[in-house]
Each structure stands twice: as structure tokens, then as C-alpha cells.
Structure 1
């Protein structure tokens, strides 16, 4: 297929179920332990009696929590009693998986899956039900289609640990559906170090294969624009006022650098590099530390996508997409420890850019309604998506004997810029046997400019007091504040001739850069007109302000029995204001959110947990904003619904845990969730076009239930009569999650997602009762089989991952009865080899990775049944990837 499009010139994880000691303080704000060293210097975790895992999370009194052991019982080694169900990834756990970003590492945790570009789903619940925190503080998302932060922008080198808590406790924010993912950055190192590393890799479907690229600017390899994509003021004025842009100003736009698509038969290999350093010193009675790190990576991915009914070749549309991703990150942290008090000041910067070239051909972009009869259409796109995240955080964790005080505050900013989104459509004209672009169709040549800016201020204080009642018992209370402000605009323009005239031959047969050359623009009087097909608001302002307070008690109520119970009160005001006269959306709600967990340590190495709670999920800004957006990964457009409501969840869980050896365990759990007003993505065909659009709607009710099992076992290999195996062991880690969900829809009237302001329909005309929630897989399987040395760094790990089919967007019954769009993740097999050695006085690490060895395809489809059968919506081959890295620490 790539050769057919050669006319471009025309156009891991180990999820340690810990109750901390290693958690050092999960419920509590987590007085930090010393940081783990960077990957190059990872000491085998088996050497130390306990892994030091640094956790900084909401709450106070962490030191005491870590030491509570119920009377007469003992959970051995690093796994001690904890008030909640959690999974923890230490730096060693992350390193074993070999993943380069935290999203990849987290998908190895029981019940977690990664969908799209780094969005983590907990137990099949969508990303809106997952909460991401950094050092216990919220982050704004640079992605306009999501509320949560895509976790693939966090390199593992800047993360000291990752905690996943699946049961709600009152010290966490109330938007807690499936779970919370709390990332902790490294702080005060044990000793001074300097680490540097680099890696290179290739993808069998991309590297040295045909792809499509465009020039852009001289700094594109860094992910920064060098001025070619600067947005002129006249674009902003015309977009805001919906006025035409005259010929003279149209010629001022950058043309060839953002328009000409090139064939590239030698797509470069992937590469990355990182450097980190840190140190600590004693000054008076305090220990001061600093840690800094920086990294850069460049990766390429080419997708040969296909859509169309498999049994009807004439409906096929194929598109080759080449993504060039450049990521730059930096971390600067300061820490101080004095007595039992700790302070950290963390600054994190991440800049993530995707440069995309796309070329497609077929009878139509979606098979439902081929345009231009059966004559081919050719579509070319060049895009630039620039995302940036910056946060500055201060955390103080103070221990005054029986009283513990945690204070947190942060400012965070995210930006997303997408200038010069260009699209050209050429129709094949049989009368001349050639492709033409007459510029009279409105959407035959378009250009879009969009920008999003979001500021987030957050803070809180947590108090914990030990009651000294003879049994471990304490009370906790806290207050949290969050204020989020977002501004967003998207201006789309069509290149047209005045009066809607058609561009004459031979000009209509020119390739895109000649078509829009200054000479052709001036000769034919081409102007830019605000797109008449763009729906809704061109821009909007949004705000979310949350005040929350909680009270919680925790302690031992009888021998072997521990309880944590509390309630959180949250009040929130959320507004979305379109700037072009559309109605203001306002959601103002307050909630009492109770939570309780009972832990019964009925045997020295076994315990039961029971949890019940109520939580919420608010609509995301993008789900409320009546503004059209293109998702570059799925090639679908999204549009918000200003009438969405909050979702309310009731959560129940029962869990059995058996810790049969140091860092060895068997756990089994059953869980149930009832969701009122779940927000679902729904797909429909836009009237009068062949485009599939995604909107949002509240279903009346849904249920989710399931079970999960996890086992971790170490098998010493010393029984083999060889010195080679004297210090080696086999690592067996397996987890399985079974989930079922159902959406219930009766005659309740709900807002129609196509026309929510004017139309209400019975819910059963929009939803099929019994269908699962969007994003839910029935089966999730993770298996790790590893061989490692207990005395030095030497690991070989095989990783197996499977996820069953899941709905991406359900089809609206009122739009022709479209079936849901389904993704088939399938089976994936990887391996990671890590070998340490010493040279020139430094500790070195050699890492070799192989990913997707099964060469599993990305498959997305709709099943129409009958004679139509299966229709692909976005299906392509995923290559095998291999990388080799070398790092050192001095």
C-alpha cells in the first residue's frame, strides 16, 4: 500500500501489593524514604531487607501508619498492614519492565490497561474514572480531549515510584471512580551520583521503510517550532470575528514548509538520551539534597491504516500516517530533612510534540457513504501538535510527636498548540484522468489553528493525631483547594475563490504547495473564509473550583482487626463559557462521600479486606465544550455536550490476601460498582457527509462487577548443581482480571448527543441495554517470567499481556442503528534483558528490549452482521520494535 501512495509529491511490572512500610506512609503524606538511584545504578532489590519506596500522597501521619501492626498478627517483611488496597511500583519494579514511560510500566499492574496514547484505564473504566496525581497534587491535562494527563509523557527516569490505590479513602479527591495513580518524583538521594545513558532502536514497520514527512522548521527534531508556524494576528482576529481573510494576507502564511509532503524511504531509527545527577550534604542538624535530570527522545511510527467493509473492496480507504514524536523533559528538585521533618520542592517540565504527515486514497474516508461516486479521492494532511506541562510544587511533612502535619501547594500549567493543521482533498476526474482540486467545495483545502492554555492552582493541609488509647488509633482531618482555568480556541478556514467559483485547469491539477503559491493566490484571487462546516464555538473559557474537607479515623478495634472510616465533603463550581454567544454551562454541586475499609488479619500471613465508598466523576471540559476537535490518533472528530451531568458511583470490594513469603503473595478480590449517569462516547454519521463524529451523552445507569487474581512467587535456582545458578532465581508474576459491565436504558428522557439543546429522546433509542461500558475489556492478563541474580544486576524478563475486545464508542440507535466501534488489543509478548558490569570505576548497565514480538495488529472495527459483515474503521500493522541502551553511574 505504501508504494501505491507514492504520489506524495502530489499532495511491569511487579505490582507490590504493599501496605507500607515500603509505602512508607501511604495514607499519610508519606514521609519520604531515601530515593532509589537512577536506573543505571539499580541495586538488586534482593540485597536489602526492604526496598525503600518513596511515596508522597495526600494525608498526614505517615510514619505512624507505617508502624501500625495489629496485635498478635504479623504480615512479614515489606508487606505490612495497610488501610487500603494499593499496588506500588518501585524504581526497581519499573526498571524490570524496561518501559521508557510510566504508562507502559503501569499496564503491568493488576486490572490496569493503557488505551491510546498513554491513558490508563482501571478495571476497564474509562480515563475519566482514573485520577492522576504528582506528589499528591493534581495536574492539568495538555490533551484537549481528556481530563487526565496522558502518562506516556512521564519518562520513568523522573519517577521514583508509582502508587495505584483502587479503594477510595476520604483523604483523596472525590473524583475517584476506578482508582488513583499517584506518581512520586525522587527527592533527597542517599549519596551523590551522576548518571548518563542513551539508547537506539528500530521498528520493523517504520525504520528504513516508506513514510511521509514534511519540512517544517529547523528545530522540529527537538519538538520546538523555529518560527515557520508562528500564528499571525490577522488569523486570530479573523477567527474570533468570523471574517474573511483577503488575498494579500493569505500570501503571508507559511506555505511550502508546512504543505509539501515528501516520500521518505529511510525513516530514521528511534533514539533517546538522559542525564541525571544528585547529591546530599549535612548542614547543621539538617540534611539537604538536590536532584536534577534531563532527557530527550525522538521516535517514529508509520501506520498503513485501512477502513472499509472487508467484503466490499470498493469501500476501502487507505491512509499512510507517519508520526515523528520529540519529547524533552527536565526535573529539578530540592529536599531537606531535619529531625522527623521533611520538605521537598519539585519543578518538572515536559515538552511533547507530534509532527504528522498523512496521505490517503480511496472512494471515501469512511465506507458508509463513498463520495464522488466510485471515483477515488486523495487526502493529504500535515499536522503539528505541541504539548507542554510545567509544575512547581512545595510539600512539607512535619512530625511533632503525636501530631503530624502535611502542607502542600502547587502551580501547574499546560499548553497545547496546533498551528497550520492543513488538509487537501483531490477528486479524481475521469474526463481528464487526473486528480483535481477546484477550491469550490469549501473543504477541499483547509487550514486550522488551535491553542489551549490551562492554569491550575492547588493546595491543602492534612493533620493526624495519635490518641494513645492502648491500641493504635488516630484521627485525621484535612482541607484541599483546587482552581483550574482553561482558555481554548480553534479557528478553521477554507481556501476558496470569491463567489464560490471553481479553480480552472491547469491550476486545479497543481500539487498543494503550487496550488497555494503566492502567484496562484494572487492570480486567482484566492481568499480564506471561516469554515462553514465547523460546528459550535470557535473558542471557550472554562473554570473548575473545588473546596474539600474530610475527617477520618484509623486504628485497631480488636485483636487482628483494623478499620479506616471517614467522610469527605466536596463542593465544586464548574463553568464552560463559549465566546460566541452560546449559552453558559454551569454545574454547581456538593457531595458527602463516605468511605470505610475493614481489615481482618485472621492468620499470621493472611487477611481479608472489605471496602465500601461513594465517589463521583465530573464531566471534562472538552466533554462540555461545544467545539469541534480532530483526534489525530483515531482520525475522528469530537464534539462536546453542554448538558452533561456528574456521574455518581457506589463502590464495593472484598479481598483475600495471603503473604506466604518475603515479597511473595497470592491475592483474590471481587468488586462491584454502580454508576448513575455514566458519561459515554457515542458515534454517528454526520448528516450530508461521510464523516464519523464522536459526541458524549449520559446513560441513565450502569453496573460493573468482576474479580481479579494475582500471584507472585520466587523460585531459587540454587538446586541446580552449577555455580552459575548459585545466586539466581526465577521470578513468576501473574495477574488476571475478569470484568463485566452493563448499561441500562429505559424510557427515561435524556439529551440527544447530536442536538442536546433542542432534542430529548428516550434512553433506549440511544443506548442498547446490556452493552458494556466504553473501554471495558472482559479479560486482562499479565504474566512475567524472569531470571535474575540476587547479588548483582542481571535480569532477563519475558512479559506477556492480553486484553480482550473493548468498545471505543457506541453507535447511536437514532443514527441508522450503527454498531459500536470496537478495538481488539489482542496478545502482546515482550522481553527485557538488563546486565550490569563495572568499567572505569563506574557502574554500567546494558539493556536490550524486544517489543510486540507477536507482531499483533491494531484492529478497530464495527460488526454489521448479515451480508455486510465486518467493517474496519482504523486497522493497521504494528511492527516489532527492538532497542539497545547503555547507561552508567558514577
Structure 2
């Protein structure tokens, strides 16, 4: 077909060739424009560039050895614009035949993701950037709830198939990244703004080229790659929360000038004046007494929440990307920024501690029951840059830089009944506890990747990656102030208990962790029987971690004659702060008298250093036994060395040394071109984190349980069995049924010891656990019901899961002492019996209108395991629903409205005993409504 010339200026055709059978890139394929002498070969990504093409309409032909050639007609080229053309070629059978299709650019990343899922060697699910936009998800955590079998804990931590974050591994563009919470085993997924991401995939079965430390799922976060043509996107939105926004009773605290950027400017830092070790209660030494006085007066005296009016929520995002040439070679880049600031508040919360303390008791004994009020301001700032440079068609180098910064300013107040005070006749008193908690998190990542094709080695692919990640979590000036009071006749008697954990205190915690992840993979294709192509793959990896955790504690003490009258302001009044009386003659042995004075309560035990090294090597083969049956099998060897040492050298260090062989076999049988049957077996593991094997006790809030690590923890091994039937009836549509079984040896569990002072959470291995379940997923256009429903898309998934953990003999004996008929098994910690998600989307391209309703819910799951017979604490099921509507306004603008948490359910953790519920914690988050606009040039 001849071209119709419209302008003298030229355009570009760019695209990618992939195999319709495997989804892999076709390297060295030929792409030509039939009517003119313009052609190109595809590079190591299967991509091609046809430059300097006069505007017009063309036929483009793609061909590759052993594949059917394909001609795309009606390809329109415009002056100074890029036409994107992605083509799939099918393998040739007995006769090469040319296939002719009408030209169109395939832009849908949702379809691309489904094709990747279909061709994967493992059981895989995922969610694309298209779905992020459709569902209105602001970060990776929210987006992942759309994936089959996934729920969130604390709006941050991913549970796959009901398994807690311990059994989930997270990577960023294939490189492992550390978590920022010292008490967790995985990263907080709310750190990653959705506008910087291309897709999220969750591999539910293991192959040897993956890290072996997961069982529920291996989550890979893929950031935006450079686009085929220039793109510019700006978006902004504002939000209203019906419990927080414009509420003039919002709990807050003193702030720094840079809180709005997600980090403290030094307002909460230890004062510069304290450049010495604070002496311990020096009453006779003048120099030391003056040092105590100076330190006491150096800190600000803001120890309780203040009330402000909370402003609106806001969110802004920017991204820019393009391809260009540098030194005659292709350079692609994308740069993105995001900013969010949100406020949340509740004053209807409840917090209670309960205990079953005798056999046959009709109810649980209430140790304390508080009203709970909390205000949180959260800020997140994200930056991403991605550069890729192709030296030639066989060699590419990529650099990815990311920084995510977030700050959370939390103020909390507990008020309620408290255990008996000595000398109080009615045996009850009122307890008040205040906490001001600022946490800043930073994730800095630099990744350098290389991809190479070696034509002389049968087009073998070599890829390598070096990733350096620095993660930081700082908690500057975490403040607690607690007291109790009771009525003494007509008077109110206040008291601050002298126990260390109830004295007014300031904590300064810093966590720094460095991760170095290095890996190399070599993949070699070779031809076997019947013209089928197999591949071998082998590689090596090293993951090195170094963590430093520091905690300084300053406690306020006061002399025995000091009286507290219930006012924090009066407690820290100038006349009562520091030295309040001095001796007439210090040299004659007089003493200094203090009112309120500062004491260094830092415990060396609570500071630790941790090192972890995991070295791995693997080999595997991807073998098509027939045209329909594919087997991927091999094994991975991982050598683990973890060492955690407290500053208290008398404590046993946490030490774990292990060599694990992790075999894997995955088989896929293609029932038809669009239907697969999968089966797989693998062995994986779960390691304890640094904090869990650091043997010291710490707490986060007065009245809540303390946490104690265990230096003798062992790693968990898991045998995994999976099957899945999957069908892709049409483009973007998907139906599947899966079954799985997991057997855990030495699973790691958290337990609450209600017999300890202030309760205590400790960590331990139990002998065995089993998890098995079914998963169902449907993504389908509703045109099969009636033609007028063509624009409606239904997405739904359901996971039904059963778990069982054997209870240790000693623990079972304690339980049955008060509950004689208690079972000798229980569900696995964090395991939901079901997880369900559903969405209904209306999409009209002519109207530029899209509307989506989302719903998700999980079943009750254990959030804390009790010791001594008290029933376990369960996080109760709650439904979550949202609606998102977007409308295109002209060629470049899109308006969006959304409503989240429509049902506003209670977030409840509770015990259940004799058919009655006992609240451990409960609160509501409130509904959020937002409106925004996006400007896009593409």
C-alpha cells in the first residue's frame, strides 16, 4: 500500500514484538514498512524503532524465524509524533502463513499483565496501573487488596492467602528491600505511591530464581519504565474525612517547620545542651547536681496532646517520561514525584485488658478498660527516576533511583478504669495515659541493572543487578505521661506511680538498616525434540543486611514530698523543675533538693546491632515436554547467617546459621490456547527478623503489652503444594480456580502472657502448622448476560482457607487449667478463614466516563495469642467499600470523585468467652470523600 504524504516533517513508529505462546520478547526479529525501504531489527527487549517516516498510512510487516509473519495494516504516522505498535507473533506449525490484522496501538497494561500471568511458569496474580486508576488506589498497599487472597493489616502490611507478613517477601524491580518497622519482617506497602508504579505482581508458587524466604507470596513492585513517547502527567486532589476534617478537637502536638515534608527539623531532637551523661540522682555533688538541673530544664515541657482544627487532606503527583538519543543511542527516562498529607481521628475508641483467672469462671476478669482517643497526621513524599541506555541491540544498562519519605505525628489519650490502688477502699481508680509519637521513615534505593544478549551462545541472556538500599526509621521524642486518681471523700487524689514503665518519660529511637542485594542470572535457550525450545537458567545471589538500633530513655522523677495535682503544666512549672532548694553550706555535707528532675533511664539491653547474610545459588530448566505440557524444575541453595547482639553482653546473642536446599517443580498443561492447568510443589522458608531474636523487652504505649525477643528462635520451613485451572476467554478477561496446601515446621508465633506485669508479648516456635484452601477469581465483561451490559466489567475473587497449629504441651496444660475442654489446636496466627474482593466497573470510551465500586472483606483472624487460658485475641471481620468516578474533560484533563470506607465499620480486636465478646481495642476511621483533576499529555 502506498503512503499518502501529508506533511514534510517525519514521525516515528516504535513498538515491541513478543511471542503469543510464551509472552517473551523476540530478539533479532525483523520489522519493515512494506512500501518504503525502512526496516529495523528488534533488540534485547524485543523493541524496535522506525525513524524518519513521512506522515501517512502504512503496512508494517513483522517476521521471525520459526514464527508466522504478521502484517499490520492502517498504521497511521503523524508529523512529530510517535506511533506505538506492539505485535505478537505465533509459532509456525507445518506451513508458514502470513497473518494480516488492522493496525492499532495496544496500550492496555491490564491486558499486558493478564498475558504475563497467562504465560508465567508459576501461579501468579497481579494488579496493573490501569486498575490503580480505576479503583482510585493511592498507594501499593490499597492496590494489592484487589488481588485474589490478599488483605491488609494496619493498612500497611500484606497478608497473602491469609498468611501474615512473615510469609510475604517484597522486592522492588526484582531487588529485595528492607522493612522500616523494627518489629516486622516485610516492608510497609503504603510507602509506594501508585502514580510511580507500573504494576504489582504476586507469585504464589516458588521457582529457584526467586528468593526462598516466602510462602504466602512474592510481591514484586515494578516502577514506571520509560514510555515509547513523551508523556507528562500532573494531578491534584483534596479530601474530606467526616471524623477529622475541620474538627476543632483534633488531637495534635508541638510541630517542627518541616513536618509538612515528612521529617522533623530538630524540634524533637535531644537538646544540644545535653552533651554529657546525666548523673544518677546526685544530691551532694555540686557539679553533678547542676548538670541534672541543666538537663531537666533543657527539654520542652509539652508532654500532653493539644487540640487543633484539622485541615483538608491533599494529594499531588507529577511524572514525566520520554525516549531520546544520546551519542546516537537510545536513552529512555521517567521522573516522578508524589505528595500526600492526610488526617485521621477517632474519639470513640475502646482499649481493654482481660484475663480468665479461674476454672469455671462465668466471664473474663477486667484488668482495665479505657476510652481511647487518637489523632494522626500522615505525610508522604515520593521521588522516582528511571534511566535506561541501550549501547546497541544486545546490551542495555538501567539505573533506578527512588526515595520515599514519610512522617506520622500521632497523639493519643487513654482514660478509664484501672486496677486497685493500695489503700483505696472501692478497689478501682481512674487511669489517664497520654502519648505523643512522631515517626519518620525514609527509604533510599539505587539500582543498577545490566541486560545482555550473547549471539555466539545461542542468544543467551545475561542479566545482573546491584541494589543498595538505606532504610531509616526515627522516633524522636516519643513522650508518655500517665497518672491515676480516685475520689477521697470530696477531694480528688492524684498519683503518678513510681514504677519505671509508668513514670513520665521521653524515648529517642533510631533504626538504620543497609541492604546490599547482588544477583546474576544466565539463561540459555536450546532446541529439543519436535522443534520445541527449552531453556536452562542458573545464577547466584548475595543479600547483606546491617542494622543498628539505638534507644535513649529519659525519665522524670520527683522527690517523695512532691505532690501531683493533675495538671501537666503545674507538674513542669518553673518553680518545681530541677533544683528547688540548695544547702547553705554544700561543703559541710548538705544536700541539694529537687522538685521534678530528669534521670537517664537508657538501658544498654535495648540497643543492638544485627547482621544478616544470605548467599544463594540455583539451577533450573524450563522444559516443554510436548507442545502443551511445560515443566519448570530445579533447586536453590541458601546459606543463612544472622547475628544480633545486644549492648548488654551478658544476654545471649541471637544467632541463626543454616544451609537449606529448596527444590521446586511447576507444571503447566495448555488445555487450549486460552486455558491452562497448573500444578506445583516447592519448599520455602521463613526467617525471624532482627527484633524477634534480639532478647530484650520494650513497649510502645503505657497500658499496652511489652514485647520480648527470643534469641533461640529457629527458621520455619514450609512445603507448598498448588494447583490451578485458569481460562482467558477474551482480552483482559480471566477465570480461575485454585487449591493449595502448606505444611509448616517450626512456625514462629506471637503470644501474650497475661500473667506478666503490664502483660507481655513474646515470640516462640511451635511444632507444626497446616494451611489449605481454595481460591476463585472472575474478571469478565457482562456482555455475555446481555449486549447492553457490554460496558460493565465484573471482578471478584474469593479465598476459603483452613489452618491448624498444634499447641505445645506446657501451654496446653496452662490453658486447660482454666478451660478444661480447650482444643489442642488453634488457627495459625494472622490466618483469615476467608478473603473476598469484588468490583463492578462501568467504562465508556466515547463518553470518557469510568465508574468503579469496590468491596473487600476478610474473616476473623488471630491478632494475638494469649497464655494462661485467656482466649486469643481476634481481629474481627469488617467490610470495606469505595466508589470512584472519573470523567475525561477534553483531550488532556480528567476529573475524579471518590468515596472511601463507605460503611465506616468498627476496627475491632477482641476475646470471645462463653458467647460474649470482650473488647481489646476498637475504633472507627471515618469516611473519606475526595475530588481531583489530572492533566495528561500522551
TM-score (structure 1 length as normaliser) = 0.84
Q: Which one of the candidate residues 690, 706, 714 is aligned to 2:781?
A: 714
**Equivalent pair of 1:439/1:503 in contact (CA under 8 Å):** no
User: Residues 433-472 of structure 1 correspond to what in structure 2 (within 5 A)?
Assistant: 433-434=491-492, 436-438=494-496, 440-442=498-500, 443-469=502-528, 470-472=531-533
Tell me how far apart the structure 2 counterparts of residues 801 and 446 of structure 1 sit (CA, whole Å).
41
What is residue 84 of structure 2 aligned with on the other side? none
Tell me how far apart the structure 1 counterparts of residues 484 and 750 of structure 2 sit (CA, whole Å).
32
What is residue 520 of structure 1 aligned with on the other side? 576
Taking structure 1 as reference, are residues 590 and 211 closer, same or farther at Cα in structure 2, changes over 3 Å only? same
What is residue 374 of structure 1 aligned with on the other side? 428
Tell me how far apart the structure 2 counterparts of residues 529 and 102 of structure 1 sit (CA, whole Å).
43
User: Residues 322-361 of structure 1 correspond to what in structure 2 (within 5 A)?
Assistant: 322-337=375-390, 338-361=392-415
Tell me how far apart the structure 2 counterparts of residues 365 and 281 of structure 1 sit (CA, whole Å).
71
Taking structure 1 as reference, are residues 226 and 81 closer, same or farther at Cα in structure 2, changes over 3 Å only? closer
Q: Over alpha carbons, which structure has the higher Rg? A: 2
Tell me how far apart the structure 1 counterparts of residues 718 and 235 of structure 2 sit (CA, whole Å).
45
1:530 to partner: Cα distance: 4.5
User: Residues 558-707 of structure 1 correspond to what in structure 2 (within 5 A)?
Assistant: 558-581=626-649, 582-631=651-700, 635-685=704-754, 687=756, 689=757, 691-707=758-774
Q: Which one of the candidate residues 291, 311, 318 is aligned to 2:371?
A: 318
Tell me how far apart the structure 1 counterparts of residues 126 and 826 of structure 2 sit (CA, whole Å).
33
What is residue 339 of structure 2 aligned with on the other side? 296
For these two proteins, the number of residue pairs brought into alignment is: 805
What is residue 51 of structure 2 aligned with on the other side? none
**Equivalent pair of 2:754/2:866 in contact (CA under 8 Å):** no
1:379 to partner: Cα distance: 1.3
1:634 to partner: Cα distance: 11
Q: What do residues 448-489 of structure 1 show as CA deviations (whole Å, max 9, x unaligned)?
A: 111111011111100000112221101000000110000102
1:644 to partner: Cα distance: 0.6
Taking structure 1 as reference, are residues 191 and 513 closer, same or farther at Cα in structure 2, changes over 3 Å only? farther
What is residue 756 of structure 1 aligned with on the other side? none
* CA RMSD, 1 decimal: 3.7
**Equivalent pair of 1:242/1:530 in contact (CA under 8 Å):** no
Q: Which one of the candidate residues 257, 270, 293 is aligned to 1:231?
A: 270
- Kindly indicate whether residue 320 of structure 2 is the aligned counterpart of residue 277 of structure 1: yes
Q: Which one of the candidate residues 533, 551, 573 is aligned to 1:490?
A: 551
- Kindly indicate whether residue 269 of structure 2 is the aligned counterpart of residue 220 of structure 1: no
What is residue 196 of structure 2 aligned with on the other side? 158
User: Residues 16-415 of structure 1 correspond to what in structure 2 (within 5 A)?
Assistant: 31=45, 78=115, 80-209=118-247, 210-232=249-271, 238=277, 247-256=292-301, 258-264=302-308, 266-283=309-326, 286-304=329-347, 305-308=349-352, 315-337=368-390, 338-364=392-418, 373-401=427-455, 402-415=459-472
Tell me how far apart the structure 1 counterparts of residues 565 and 797 of structure 2 sit (CA, whole Å).
58
What is residue 482 of structure 2 aligned with on the other side? 425
Tell me how far apart the structure 2 counterparts of residues 68 and 557 of structure 1 sit (CA, whole Å).
19
Q: Secondary structure at the match of 1:251?
A: helix
Taking structure 1 as reference, are residues 440 and 614 closer, same or farther at Cα in structure 2, changes over 3 Å only? closer
**Equivalent pair of 2:44/2:394 in contact (CA under 8 Å):** no
Q: Secondary structure at the match of 1:316?
A: strand
Tell me how far apart the structure 2 counterparts of residues 793 and 876 of structure 1 sit (CA, whole Å).
39
Q: Secondary structure at the match of 1:777?
A: coil
Taking structure 1 as reference, are residues 114 and 718 closer, same or farther at Cα in structure 2, changes over 3 Å only? closer
Tell me how far apart the structure 2 counterparts of residues 234 and 537 of structure 1 sit (CA, whole Å).
26
Q: Which one of the candidate residues 921, 930, 937 is aligned to 1:874?
A: 921
Tell me how far apart the structure 1 counterparts of residues 420 and 464 of structure 2 sit (CA, whole Å).
53
What is residue 839 of structure 2 aligned with on the other side? 784
**Equivalent pair of 2:419/2:428 in contact (CA under 8 Å):** no
Q: Secondary structure at the match of 2:293?
A: helix
Q: Secondary structure at the match of 2:142?
A: helix
Q: Which one of the candidate residues 594, 606, 609 is aligned to 1:538?
A: 606
**Equivalent pair of 1:684/1:694 in contact (CA under 8 Å):** yes
Q: Which one of the candidate residues 826, 831, 844 is aligned to 2:883?
A: 831
1:619 to partner: Cα distance: 0.5
Taking structure 1 as reference, are residues 496 and 271 closer, same or farther at Cα in structure 2, changes over 3 Å only? same
1:519 to partner: Cα distance: 3.6
Runs (5+) with no aligned partner, structure 2: 1-18, 27-42, 49-70, 73-87, 95-110, 283-287, 355-362, 581-593
1:846 to partner: Cα distance: 1.1
Tell me how far apart the structure 1 counterparts of residues 605 and 881 of structure 2 sit (CA, whole Å).
45
TM-score (structure 2 length as normaliser) = 0.80
1:234 to partner: Cα distance: 8.1
What is residue 855 of structure 1 aligned with on the other side? 904
Tell me how far apart the structure 1 counterparts of residues 169 and 671 of structure 2 sit (CA, whole Å).
32
Q: What do residues 48-68 of structure 1 show as CA deviations (whole Å, max 9, x unaligned)?
A: x99xxxxxxxxxxxxxxx989
Tell me how far apart the structure 2 counterparts of residues 287 and 182 of structure 1 sit (CA, whole Å).
27
Q: What do residues 170-210 of structure 1 show as CA deviations (whole Å, max 9, x unaligned)?
A: 00011021110001111222222322211111111222233
Taking structure 1 as reference, are residues 321 and 23 closer, same or farther at Cα in structure 2, changes over 3 Å only? farther
